[in-house]
Amino acid sequence: MKKKLRQLLLSEDGDASYISIFVYVLIVAILLAFILNVFHIISSKQEMDHMADQLVKQIQLSGGTNSDTDSLFTFLAGEINEVEGLSYQVTGPSNTGRIQIGTPFYVTVTGRCYLGGFWKFNLVPINIRAQGAGVSEHYWK
């Protein structure tokens, strides 16, 4: 049986059997699912890059992190629905709540996506990180 199936799949007679057509359609469906998942991960990365840029702009204008930064992050994270564990971190001076004018800072947004297939099997976890950098524009007396 195994030998006959292998011979049928490797046959070059020019005729297509039901088994070979089924195998080809299955391969195309799996390839299509993989391409759609990769596109989803790329678009999620672009959305996270946009989120990091918006956070940088907000921190630049306000001169540090505050409740507005948290509410902006919450709003932007609500727009990205298929990324798990979204969080952000601001690094730079010792006190990120009050960043003096001209002081550089960095924003890192992290999350996790899964490469899975048609039915969201979550087979391969992929950690995504978006970074942004800025300089404070607020003068603290």
pLDDT tens digit sequence for 70-94? 999 999 999 988 899 999 999 988 8
DSSP string, 73-114: HHHHHHH--S-EEEEEEEESSS-TTSPPTT-EEEEEEEEEEE
CA-closest candidate to residue 100, choices 50, 53, 134, 141: 141
Write out the two tokens for 55.
């956070």
Q: What is the per-residue pLDDT for 118?
A: 67
Q: pLDDT band at 14, cuts 50/70/90? A: low
Radius of gyration of the chain (CA): 24
Q: Where are the domains of the chain?
A: 2-9+16-135
Instruction: Point out which residues pair with 127 in neighbouring strands.
Output: 112
> Which position has the higher pLDDT, 37 or 10?
37
Residue matched to tokens 């993989």? 34
Residues 49-71: tens digit of each pLDDT:
999 999 999 999 999 999 999 99
Residues 33-52: tens digit of each pLDDT:
888 888 989 999 999 999 99
Q: What is the per-residue pLDDT for 131?
A: 97
3-state secondary structure (DSSP) of residue 123: coil
- Cβ neighbors of 78 (< 8 A, separation 6 or more) are none
Q: pLDDT band at 112, cuts 50/70/90? A: very high
CA-closest candidate to residue 52, choices 128, 112, 131: 131
